[in-house]
Amino acid sequence: MFVVGLTGGIGSGKSALSRHFEALGILVIDADQVAREVVEPGESALSSIVTRFGAEALLENGSLDRRYLREVVFAEPKQRNWLEQLLHPIIRDRIMQKLEQSDSRYTILSSPLLLETDQHLLVNHIIVVDAPEAQQIERTMARDSSSEEQVRAIIAAQMERSERIGKADDLVDNSGSENDLQPLALALHEQFLKQAQQDWEAEH
């Protein structure tokens, strides 16, 4: 299976670009969504979190109180490390399951942490989507109703843009409109179909 990793900083346009690939019939696995799935009620990761942090980590309906957990791990790096060591392998396994089940002609893994975790080991090709920082901030503030300060703090905690771009096989410039992404996605799509075909032929 030919797998394309798609990453970029917050508000760079990962989801916007993903929608164009989905419109072309390609399966996009969203690592953020997987990260939410693995802590749903009934999942073993949620039980581990409750064992460590107590029932305070749950909302009344039995689902994870993300805000509470975010505050705890923000205040204590030790807890953050524990949580990451718990969740990253589980997220990776779940992504692998989804890749194995995929019958898409190639599959995209969209992840803000593609390069920071070993998720990049799951992909054959890396796309980095990029927009100027001012646009990243403006678009994220509009999407999440967050403050400029909050978005800047997240950007500061993420991989530096030049380092990320240095790891790209393809760089997508999202400084124009969302519609401008469509022809860029189509050109990449055609390239990936060829690469997936070549990989398949080499293996058969």
Site residues, ligand ADP (CB under 6 A):
8, 10-16, 139-140, 143, 174, 176-178
Q: Which is nearer to ligand ADP, 61 or 177 (CB)?
A: 177
Distance of CA 172 to the CA centre of its chain: 16
Q: Are 127 and 188 in contact (CB under 8 A)?
A: yes
The minimum distance between CB 101 and ligand ADP, in angstroms, equals 23
Q: Which amino acid is at 15?
A: S
Q: Which is nearer to ligand ADP, 59 or 165 (CB)?
A: 165
The minimum distance between CB 179 and ligand ADP, in angstroms, equals 8
Residue in the shown chain whose Cβ atom is closest to ligand ADP? 139
The minimum distance between CB 126 and ligand ADP, in angstroms, equals 15
Element (H, E) at 173: strand 170-173
Q: Are 186 and 24 in contact (CB under 8 A)?
A: yes
Task: Give the number of C-alpha atoms closer than 13 A to the C-alpha of residue 27, restricted to the C-beta side.
Answer: 16
Cα dihedral across residues 160, 29, 91, 77: positive or negative: positive
Q: Which is nearer to ligand ADP, 43 or 133 (CB)?
A: 133
The minimum distance between CB 127 and ligand ADP, in angstroms, equals 12
Q: Which is nearer to ligand ADP, 71 or 180 (CB)?
A: 180
C-alpha span between 36 and 121 (Å, rounded) = 21
Q: Which is nearer to ligand ADP, 107 or 174 (CB)?
A: 174
Task: Give the number of C-alpha atoms closer than 13 A to the C-alpha of residue 168, restricted to the C-beta side.
Answer: 18
The minimum distance between CB 79 and ligand ADP, in angstroms, equals 25
User: Angle at CA 73, nearest 5°, toward 72 and 77?
Assistant: 125
The minimum distance between CB 202 and ligand ADP, in angstroms, equals 33
Q: Which is nearer to ligand ADP, 62 or 183 (CB)?
A: 183
Element (H, E) at 202: helix 181-203
